[in-house]
Structure formats: structure tokens, C-alpha cells
Amino acid sequence: MPVSCFQPLGLGISILPPLTRRGHGPGLILLVPDADEQMKIAEGVPSHLVKWAEEGYTVVEIQIQAIKDGGATNALSIALKALWSDERCQPEERIGIVAYDPEAWVQAAKAVAVIPSVAGVVIYADAAQETSLPVVPAPTIYHLAGKSSGRPVKSDALTVYYYESVESYKFAIPFQSAFNYTTEAISHTRSLSHLKPRMLGPYFDLELIWDEHTYYEFSDRSVEHTMSTMVQEPYVNHTPVLTGGVGRGALTNFYRSNFIFNNSADTTLELVSRSIAIDRIIDEFILKCTHDLEIDWLIPGIPPTGLKLEVPFTAVVNIRGDRLYHEHISWDQGTVLRQLGLLPEYLPFPHPLPNGKTPALGNHFEYRVPVTGTASASKLRDRGSEPSNEMLQFKIREVPVTQPAGPRSYTTAIQI
């Protein structure tokens, strides 16, 4: 991991170079509330300073205490001088501003407006404050907590995003009760999309970073190398079975004990599609392997069956700077169980039918489980490989209770 070079510049002002393998990046100035722990990471959530440094920026943080009572011009002068004198601030001719506090923006806007190198501005505020926010020449986006007051605003000069599920701009400020992880993450990606093209980056080869990570996982099979491709506090969520790990310690243990050495020797990933965004990769792929050992991250508690698997997967991979931050991995667990012979074709239906019909004495209703086997992978790979809509013909049926459910022929079954 990169060595932190955090440096105080004055009361409420500090600088942090990029926390990336590249080690240099454009200058970014943050306007934030007062805080004592600028380098804090809690429950996997980093401070603003750390997060933007991990994105690859040379970051100066200015707290409200440094700009109140007319101190904005001096604070910004200190920030710019520090950026321009730091060889890691490249390119230095374009600066970005992110204001996480509307009062900080009100205090600093007049001074920001006369800085020609400001290429892009991001402002967090409440929707009720929209019309009172000072305007500057640089292209700006607003992240506003609350409901929209009218039609969407999107132009080269100003773009406005509303976040109706939150009540305060503090949704984007970590380590306090109003912080909303998911909403902040959405706004952060939008901020990157706004700033990167205007600040000439920093841009990274996201495909190379992701492919490097999967090489270390499945080919090199090295826990140390795999973790070296990730930020300080990453996480992995396998949502179908809730395996993975949140934080470096937990994730390292998961990779060592449950993943990297718990994959079959013939495991391969067949890429079907890939979408690349400003800070993430979205893959559709087919995991192919022989279930010849207990793959507990995929199907916990199930002994090896010796059967082949072809499983459709989706991976949403967030990359922060030139390291992975998180992996959200999903797959069709039903097809895994069906391919391993562990999911019956029919199961009891325990609920009343809409028409009020009840089974005859000694009978019960069963539904046909709407899950397929390797056809799922075939359909993902080739849209024409399997017919569509055949499951739309599935029906409830009535069978004797004494007859166990399973994949067999029912000559006496009554279709409902």
C-alpha cells in the first residue's frame, strides 16, 4: 500500500498526495466541515481526504474554520501554492473544487470565482438552498438533498441532481448519523464524471486493473498479490450467499480461507459482456468448473459432487484510482442447485390458491420450480440457443401427499 504523506499546511488546511500506485494526479480542493481525524477510515468508509486521494488526486482539504470571517482568499492561496509546489500535482494547470458544506461554499465562492485554473466545481447542499448558492464561471454540479423543484437542469454550465430519499446535504459527510452510504456513492460517481474530463483525469486502465486482480485470484492464486490490487479498506459481497468480507482484515482472511484455494483446478471465467464506466466495470460471465471440492464461497456446506457447473454471473466492480474498492457479485443459485441435482422439479405449494380451490383429502398442491440448469448459461452465451417463454406454461398441480416431491413422472397428477 502507498505510504501516506499527510501534511498540515495551517489551521484547518492540509494536503495529501495521491494514494495510488501511479503516485501523481491533478489538484483538488475540498471545502469541508471542521474535523479532527482527516485520515480516518471507519467500517470501510474513508474520510473525504482519503477517498479523493485514493481516486488519484493531489488533495488539499480546507475546513470551515480556515475560511470563516473572510479568510477564504488566504486559505485558497495557501492551497494553490501547496498544489503548484508539489511535483506530484500533475497536471497542475487545472484545479477542481468540491464543497461538502453549503456554508463553506458561500464563504469561498467569491474567491473561487477569480481563480482561472478552476476547471470544475461540485457543491453539496439542501434543495431549499438551490437558488441562494453563489454562481461561479466554472462548470458546476449541485448535489441537492430533497425533492426537485421543477424540471431537471443539465447544461455545460450547471447540472443539478436531487436526492429525494435524504433530507440533508450531510448524507455525503461520513462519521455522523445523517450519512447515507449508497446515496453518497451515487453522487461521488457523478462527481467523477463531471471532474475527470475537465481536469484531464486522472484516468486509469480499468480493464487492466480488473484483469490483473482476477489473474492473481484464479491463476497466480496469491492472497498477497490479490490484496495488493485493492484500496486500504476494500470489500467483496457475494449477494446470493452473503460470503465475502468487509475491510482488509476480513477480506484477506476470506481470500485465504474460503476463496483463492477453494476453487477447482479447472475453473475458468468465460466473459460474455463488459461495460466500462467512469469508476467501474460491469461484467457478465460464465463460471465453469468441476465441483470436485467443497466450494464454500459458492455453495456453503455442500460436499463435492464431481459434477460440472456452468453458472451465469454478474460482477459490478468499483475501482477507486488504480485499485479495486469493491466487488458486488451475483449469480443464479437456483441453476447451481439444479445442475448438482439438489433441486427437485416440483415442490409443495403452501399457500391458498387465488380461486379458493383446496386439494382433495390426502392430496396437496405442488408448483414446478421455475429454474433451469445449464440452459441458463447457454442462453446468456447465445440468445438463440434455447427457446424463450417455455416456463410461462408452468402450472400448479395436485398430487397425493404420500408421493414425495421430485423430478419424476406423475401419471395421476392433476394440473390446476
63-88: per-residue pLDDT in tens? Answer: 999 998 889 999 999 999 999 999 99
Where are the domain boundaries for CATH 3.10.450.50 in the chain? Answer: 206-339
The grid coordinates of residue 397 equal: 398441480
Residue 222: pLDDT above 60?
A: yes
| 139 neighbors 194 (Cβ within 8 angstroms) | yes
pLDDT tens-digit readout, 312-342: 999 999 999 999 999 999 999 999 999 999 9
Q: Which phi and psi (to 5°) does residue 230 adopt?
A: -120, 160
Class of domain 206-339: alpha beta
Q: Which pLDDT score is estimated for 57? A: 98
Q: Which pLDDT score is estimated for 406? A: 53
CA 301 to chain centre: 28
4: pLDDT confidence band, cut at 50, 70 and 90?
Answer: confident
Residue 271: pLDDT above 70?
A: yes
Q: Which pLDDT score is estimated for 152? A: 82
**Architecture field, domain 7-199:** 3-Layer(aba) Sandwich (3.40)
Q: Which pLDDT score is estimated for 1? A: 63
As a whole number, the mean pLDDT across the chain is 94
Q: Which pLDDT score is estimated for 151? A: 81
**Region 13-21: what's the mean pLDDT?**
97
pLDDT tens-digit readout, 170-180: 999 999 999 99
According to DSSP, the β-strands at 397-400 and 363-368 are antiparallel
Where are the domain boundaries for CATH 3.40.50.1820 in the chain? Answer: 7-199
Q: Which pLDDT score is estimated for 409? A: 41
**Region 253-268: what's the mean pLDDT?**
96
404: pLDDT confidence band, cut at 50, 70 and 90?
Answer: low
Q: Which pLDDT score is estimated for 69? A: 81
149: pLDDT confidence band, cut at 50, 70 and 90?
Answer: confident
**Which has more pLDDT, 43 or 277?**
277
Q: Which pLDDT score is estimated for 296? A: 95
**Region 257-285: what's the mean pLDDT?**
97
What is the percent of the chain where pLDDT is above 90?
91
352: pLDDT confidence band, cut at 50, 70 and 90?
Answer: very high
Q: Which residue has the cell 449469480?
A: 331
| 129 neighbors 137 (Cβ within 8 angstroms) | no
346: pLDDT confidence band, cut at 50, 70 and 90?
Answer: very high
pLDDT tens-digit readout, 152-173: 889 999 999 999 999 999 999 9
User: What beta strand segments (E) does 95-135 contain?
Assistant: 95-99, 118-126
Q: CB 109: neighbour CB atoms within 10 A?
A: 19
Residue 414: pLDDT above 80?
A: no
pLDDT tens-digit readout, 274-320: 999 999 999 999 999 999 999 999 999 999 999 999 999 999 999 99
2: pLDDT confidence band, cut at 50, 70 and 90?
Answer: low
Q: Which pLDDT score is estimated for 92? A: 85
DSSP code string of 156-222:
SSEEEEEETT-SSGGGGSSSSTT--HHHHHHHHHHHHHHHHHHHT-----HHHHHHHHHHIIIII--
